Amino acid sequence: MLSTCVLALALLVTVTAVTALARGPLRVATHPVRADHWVNTWTGMPQLTEAANLPPAPFTGEKSVLVDTTLRQTVRVTVGAHRLRLRFSNAYGDTALPLTAVTVALPAGGRAGVSGIVPGSLQRVTFAGRAATVVPVGAQVVSDPVDFELAPGSELTVTAYTAQGQPDLALTSHPGSRTTSYLVAGDHTQDLDLTGATAVDHWYLLSDVEVLAPAATRAVAVLGDSLTDGRGSTTNGNDRWPDQFFDRLRSGSGTPDLAVLNQAAGGNRVLNDGLGPNVLARLDRDVLARSGVSWLIVFEGVNDIGTAAATPQAQQQVADDLVAAYRQIVVRAHAQGIRVYGATLLPFGGNAYDDGAGVREAGRQRVNTWIRGRGHFDAVIDFDRAVRDPADPTRLRAGLQVGDWLHLNPTGYGALAAAVPAGLFRTPR
């Protein structure tokens, strides 16, 4: 009797599954949400610091960096909350990274790139209840939660002191911060201002800020290169296209609970390492492992086309390889319930990538035709159409670029931000 019941139940499950499949293909769903879950509100893609981007002397020695150094930096969060936690990365270190003390505060005047903080706003940060921690080689550490009032779109000051520093020059950073940070000798993590500090336009060590947010709060991550990292934008101006897209969301699009995570680096490529690991290598770290991500925008590939040989064979190969890579990104993201939106690649006529014979342009058009095709991405964002010159579609509109015919100015980045349909990020209720 029991065997008969088990058999009947198995048959019922099988019939139900077949019936469900007959109704149509499975839909990619957003992550299930719970009340008060952790969501990334700011990210800075970890990179190996090039020699030219290491801290200046005396903060970099012959065989060590950041010894007896306080580092103060500001980051702009997207969604706010009452509790936050930090992540520090030692992804590229050859030795362990000791952090002696860390604090958070509100920056003076609420501004980006300032060395002062608001009196009374400072809070100490701990790690497993301790003031100090060590970040192992290739790893990251997550701080304990800190009770801290943080408004959406506001700046946060993070100050870290490393007494021992890192005993090698393999420092993890995000050089293209477009935000000013400050270095000073000694422990000044609790100082209201860093008098006499050395200013640098880089972020070091800090990779993420997370907030404990309501159930409806989700994140969109952006995979990109210098066009998303913001080359040509204003230092301390927060006018990269993801920043301006977030500002648009806040201005009344009906999606105020969306975090925007900029996971881009200048010179980055989809297929091969450049400045930072290739997209296929960093996808898990920079997107799939981030907290609360439900959507992904892929806006990358121009550096792959521009660095491939200007021959029909090489451009056919790189276009085919990019299409295969995009398919991999979609499959891997869908496995985590993340919807993937493809953005078309921008023109580069007049830039060094322009071979003069239109060979690389043909490669770009081939890739864009595939991106625009039905059924490849969950949606398409046509950045190419938003900024190309109608009179010469192989070039950017002159008033939107910085002079190199590849990178945009803040107005150009605003055109990209305006081209992203806000309705793509509304969570089903």
Q: pLDDT value at position 256?
A: 67
Give the tens place of pLDDT for each residue, 340-399.
999 999 999 999 999 999 999 999 999 999 999 999 999 999 999 999 999 999 999 999
Strands 101-105 and 206-213, by their bridges, are unpaired
Instruction: pLDDT band for 255, please (50, 70, 90 cuts).
Output: low
Higher pLDDT, 425 or 12: 425
* DSSP bridge partners of 354: none
pTM of the entire structure?
0.90
Q: pLDDT value at position 6?
A: 37
Mean pLDDT of 1-9: 38
Strands 133-135 and 146-150, by their bridges, are unpaired
Q: Look at residue 146 and tell me whether its pLDDT is greater than 80.
A: yes
CATH assignment, 216-425: 3.40.50.1110
Q: Does an H or E element contain 150, and which?
A: strand 146-150
Closest CA to 40 of 243, 240, 299, 218: 218
In 202-346, beta strands by DSSP E: 203-204, 206-213, 218-224, 258-264, 293-299, 339-343
The answer to which of 66-70, 247-251, 348-352 has the lowest mean pLDDT is 247-251
Phi-psi bin for 361: left (phi > 0), alpha (psi -120 to 50), beta?
alpha
| Tokens linked to 119 | 């009196």
Q: pLDDT value at position 427?
A: 67
Strands 203-204 and 379-381, by their bridges, are unpaired
Instruction: pLDDT band for 289, please (50, 70, 90 cuts).
Output: very high
Q: pLDDT value at position 3?
A: 40
φ, ψ of residue 315 to 5 degrees: the values are -75, -35
Report the percent of the chain where pLDDT is more than 70: 90
Give the tens place of pLDDT for each residue, 83-106.
999 999 999 999 999 999 999 999
What is the per-residue burial (b if ≥16 Cβ within 10 Å, else e) of 224-248? bbbbbbbbbbeebebbbbbbbbbbb
Mean pLDDT of 267-287: 95
Closest CA to 351 of 282, 304, 402: 402
Higher pLDDT, 23 or 122: 122
Q: pLDDT value at position 396?
A: 98
Q: Look at residue 27 and tell me whether its pLDDT is greater than 50.
A: no
Structure-token match 């993590």, residue found: 189
Q: Look at residue 262 and tell me whether its pLDDT is greater than 80.
A: yes
What does the angle CA 76 – CA 172 – CA 302 come to, to the nearest 5 degrees?
75
Residues constituting the chain: 429
Q: pLDDT value at position 28?
A: 41
